[in-house]
Chain A
Amino acid sequence: MPDDAPATARAEEEAIIVIDNLSFSYDGGRTAALRGVTLEIQAGLTTAFIGPSGCGKSTLLRCLNRMNDLVEKAAITSGQIRIMGHDIHDPKVDVIELRKQVGMIFQKYNPFPKSIYDNVAYGPRVQGVRDKAKLAHLVEDSLRKAALWDEVRDRLDQSALSLSGGQQQRLCIARTIAVKPKIILMDEPCSALDPIATARIEELIAELQEEFTIVIVTHNMQQAARVSDQTAFFNMGELVECGETARIFGNPSVKQTEDYISGRFG
């Protein structure tokens, strides 16, 4: 991203992610997947997006690192997203640079069919890191942070696909950490995992909170309550309510939120 002075100044006073009256459509504007969403996410906090299926929470998440660029005809119809002070749809913004700052963990763990080592080293290599010692250090460091090092230290050259589902998802987290992003987006990271693997990922998220700003989409209310500092509730493409997690779950100000959280719909 261009490091011009006004942007830096704005970045200081602004939240790390600012979503300003954002509308988004998958079909060139005929139907809106997101309508007028305005939301701020503070640096260092973990934010949970909750809401029924099709409410737009994953769409919004995928807007934050422009993953939706891959989908034909999908585009923002109005509003803007500023991350660290830069409008991410500004033509001057390099989408590759954006994605280095904003990493993503996907719903279905998707390691490459390469060795464990090569998976973690993928990001740094793409960025041109060739130094073997530096790579090895980065890989170890990332795997340690992802709480996977002790399980795989003796078999780094084995295929990533030989790991269990939970391990593969933690490998994907290590792979993302290796790129050293500021923000990590998690799109239902535990939905394909069993309860034990889920618990380990949640522990991991708790540890990562100290270093990264995390945005997590989840269907699991308890998970949202456990891991997040702030929660945003979406319905039908609109942001219904956003606030401190304890307040949203304890004393929501909108009836709809209360109904959803208590399981009356969704």
Chain B
Amino acid sequence: MRGRWRSADKLLTLGFSIGTYFLLFCVGAIFGKIVMEGAPVLLRSEAPYVNTNFFSKSPMTLHEFKDEEGRLLRLDHDEYRQYRKNNPGAVLLEERSISHAGGGILGPLVGTAMLVVLCMGMALVLGISTAIYMVEFARGGRLLSTLRLAIMNLAGVPSIVFGLFGFAFFCLSPVFPVLTTEPDWDRSILTLPVWPGGGYLSFQGWGSSLLAGGATLAIMVLPIMVAACEEALKAVPRGVREASLALGASRWTCVRTAVLPQAAPGMLTASVLGVTRVAGETAPILFTAAVLSRATLPWENLEGSGLFWVSNLLTQKVEALPYHIYIISGQPGGEAIDHMRYGSVLLFLILVIGLAMVSVILRSRHRKDSH
């Protein structure tokens, strides 16, 4: 009897450990493959040790062909044009071009960075005000629990639904204004001339743009943001609030001058962690912000000045890393496009893991400070 139990025990232990090792294997396989294939794209063996081309060019068409001597050449579009110019009469064999496989990653990198910054800004404002209301002002009861339930539910909504919501709400609905010299008269429900310079404040929706994408991502990160901000506020000792109120501060003054300064590091840390989660999302920006490819960086060749420049900057579509990866994954092109795939994915992983590590370090430092 005892012997049988012992063998059942052993069998179970074996089963559990196999499960664990399988998990380890998966992690190892994913990271191993990506690093093995991606590192040669990002790095170089001689100074400056990084592939500067990959970081300084935006994605472009790759041209693959054999020259007269039968050598296989793969040239980015700009290099290809140079080559044709230098060798006017050259005969190219087996020529083919593969879109998005050439160049580098600069455009998507810049686009994602801008989206993340916008998302973080908007999510912080919304998240902090919601959390302040819930922790400091709301008087318990049903409203508060309903509010919490609603925010929790938000966390369970599939990302594509956020994408569609963002598209309908931020891009199309004309409640959101843009500053422009050429309003879209068909869509605008209200167009106010702005002095001076002949510009308009036009309520025509943000369209597919940085603003709309950032806002959609912000809504998506809200559940994490609100929960984290709430926690940060609750971690401020009651004595601090009492001290402030006993000195004749109003509720808001108390929050502003005594509670928020102490909760701020925790909130910021949490927001970085939250943003890490949404920075990698493709679906929310699919309709709201992302563009397949563009020739310029967002701030290049922009018209207008001052606020108009800012508005123009924020109302354009951008390339974004996750969308770029999505596109080149489905792109035919075989091994010619592999370097772009692995390079993009590795860089993306490094970015997201880096952000997560920053937030973890910030949090542990913050915890140490507060104890």
Contacts and interface: CB of A to CB of B under 8 A. Distances in A.
B246 A99 contact: yes
A72 B138 CA distance: 11
A103 B261 CA distance: 23
A104 B246 contact: yes
Contact of B239 (A65, A108, A122, A176): A108
Contacts of A112: 240, 243-244, 258
Contacts, number: 59
B246 A96 contact: no
B242 interface: yes
Interface stretch (B70-78, B111-119, B247-255, B287-295): B247-255
Given A72-B140, A113-B262, A123 B247 contact: yes
Given A72-B140, A112-B258, A113-B262, A126 B247 contact: yes
B223 to A, nearest CB: 25
A232 to B, nearest CB: 21
A139 B241 CA distance: 21
Contacts of A136: none
Contacts of A72: 139-140
Contacts of B243: 106, 110-112, 172, 175
B48 interface: no
Greatest chain A CB density within 10 A among B139, B237, B249, B253 is at: B249
Interface string A47-59: 0000000000000
Given A67-B242, A122-B257, A110 B248 contact: no
Contact of B247 (A70, A97, A99, A113): A99
A67 B245 contact: yes
A239 interface: no
A72 B261 CA distance: 25
Interface string A88-123: 000000001101100110101011110000000011
B312 to A, nearest CB: 40
A110 B239 contact: yes
Interface string A167-194: 0000010011001000000000000000
A70 B241 contact: yes
Contacts of B239: 106, 108, 110
A122 to B, nearest CB: 6
Nearest to B141: A72
Given A110-B237, A113-B262, A126-B257, A100 B242 contact: no
Contacts of A126: 244, 247-249, 253, 257
A104 B250 CA distance: 16
Contacts of B244: 112, 122, 126
A12 to B, nearest CB: 25
A172 B258 CA distance: 14
B241 A99 contact: no
A146 B247 CA distance: 16
B247 A110 contact: no
Contacts of B261: 113
A251 interface: no
Contacts of A104: 242, 246
A126 B253 CA distance: 7
A244 B202 CA distance: 76
Contact of A70 (B140, B242, B250, B257): B242
Contacts of B245: 67, 70, 99
B368 to A, nearest CB: 15
A127 interface: yes
A127 B243 CA distance: 15
A127 B365 CA distance: 35
B240 A99 contact: no
Interface string B218-238: 000000000000000000011
Interface string A63-76: 00101001010000
Contacts of B257: 122, 126
A123 B242 contact: no
A179 B248 contact: yes
A100 B139 CA distance: 24
A67 B238 CA distance: 11
Nearest to B238: A70
18 contacts: A67-B245, A70-B242, A70-B245, A96-B248, A103-B246, A104-B246, A106-B246, A108-B239, A112-B240, A112-B243, A112-B258, A123-B248, A126-B244, A126-B247, A126-B248, A127-B248, A172-B243, A175-B243
Interface of B: 139-140, 237-250, 253, 257-258, 261-262
Interface of A: 65, 67, 70, 72, 96-97, 99-100, 103-104, 106, 108, 110-113, 122-123, 126-127, 172, 175-176, 179
Q: Top 7 A-B pairs ranked by shortest CB distance? A: A110-B239, A123-B247, A100-B248, A104-B246, A110-B243, A126-B249, A99-B248
Given A99-B246, A110-B242, A122-B247, 8 more contacts: A67-B245, A96-B248, A96-B250, A103-B246, A106-B246, A110-B237, A123-B247, A126-B247
